[in-house]
Amino acid sequence: MPKPREKKDNHLLYADAVASRGKSGVWFGEREDFKSKQVSVMDAVKEQVEWVPVENAVMAISLDPPGIVLMAPNPSLPGIIVLADGATSENTEYLKKHYTEIVQGVLKDADIAEEE
């Protein structure tokens, strides 16, 4: 049975990548305001957590299914780490599998042995 859509009244924290298309005119009109708020929020978050810029990594953004994936070299072992968040466990597993397969394909094409 389908679940009702979750009410999202705080788009600074979470926006549905698919459902926001119809609101793009509103977001475009308020872009400067919400972008400055996003910068303020991220600056405040940086003050409270250990963080690094996304350098020497690849962050992929998926709209179908909606989610993000970060792929980066493992700092302590050979190989690539694939981290995924698709908002639901099904989406997360799909994204993790899909992008892991991409990394494995690149390893194979480059004739680099995959570490077990």
Nearest Cα neighbor of 65 from 38, 96, 101 is: 96
Give the contacts of 14 (CB within 8 A, at least 6 positions apart).
8
Q: Is the dihedral of CA 52, 58, 62, 67 positive or negative?
A: negative
Q: What confidence category does residue 14 fall into, taking pLDDT thresholds of 50, 70 and 90? A: very low
Q: Both tokens of residue 4?
A: 């009702």
- Tens-digit pLDDT profile for residues 65-96: 998 888 888 877 777 889 999 989 999 999 99
- pTM of the predicted protein model: 0.60
Tell me the average pLDDT across 6-12: 54
- Tens-digit pLDDT profile for residues 35-56: 777 777 778 767 876 666 788 8
DSSP string computed for 26-41: HHHHTHHHHHHHHHHH
